[in-house]
Amino acid sequence: MTKSKTIYFCAGWFTDKQNKAYQDAMAAIKKNPTIDLENSYVPLQHQYKGLRVDEHPELLKDREWATATYNGDRVGVATSDMLLAVYIPEEEDIGMGVELGMAQAFGKYITVVIPDEYYGRSINLMSWGIADNFIKMSELADYDFNKPGFNFYAGAVY
């Protein structure tokens, strides 16, 4: 298997659950031989002027930073081969919803990764409907992104 697919790494980092899932997913994709992480788009690594909002919350009031960061992420979604969303059912993020919608509008393949301990819990109908594939976090390191396919989510929707 070769590292032939770039991803837009769509994941929250605003709560303890999201941060743990972010770190677990990042560790898994570093091991995945089909993901070209070096050339993928990881939003935290592309904040405008290198300023992270989690370290500088005052940026939330800065129009230049917000506009440039949004547009950088939009370009990241558009230029990546696919979108990988790290999803916590109880902690949905409207930003992730926008990124999922952009990815579908751009015709990108969308995989939603859910931590094993949350897999099967109800998720939002729109998130359920927009994804091409759902996998458990434990499957991420070995999933072959060179052979994308469709798969239903095991849980219910709301």
What pLDDT, in 10s, does the model give residues 57-108? 898 899 999 999 999 999 999 999 999 999 999 898 899 999 999 999 999 9
Instruction: Tell me how crowded residue 45 is: count the other CB atoms within 10 A of its CB.
Output: 11
Query: Is the predicted pLDDT of residue 3 greater than 80, yes or no?
Result: no
What proportion of the chain, given as a percentage, has pLDDT over 70?
99
What is the rounded CA–CA span in Å between residue 54 and residue 40?
Answer: 21
Catalytic residues: 99
Query: Is the predicted pLDDT of residue 15 greater than 70, yes or no?
Result: yes
Q: What is the pLDDT of residue 107?
A: 97
- pTM assigned to the model: 0.93
Quick one: pLDDT band at residue 1, thresholds 50, 70, 90? low
Across-strand partners of 111? 84, 133
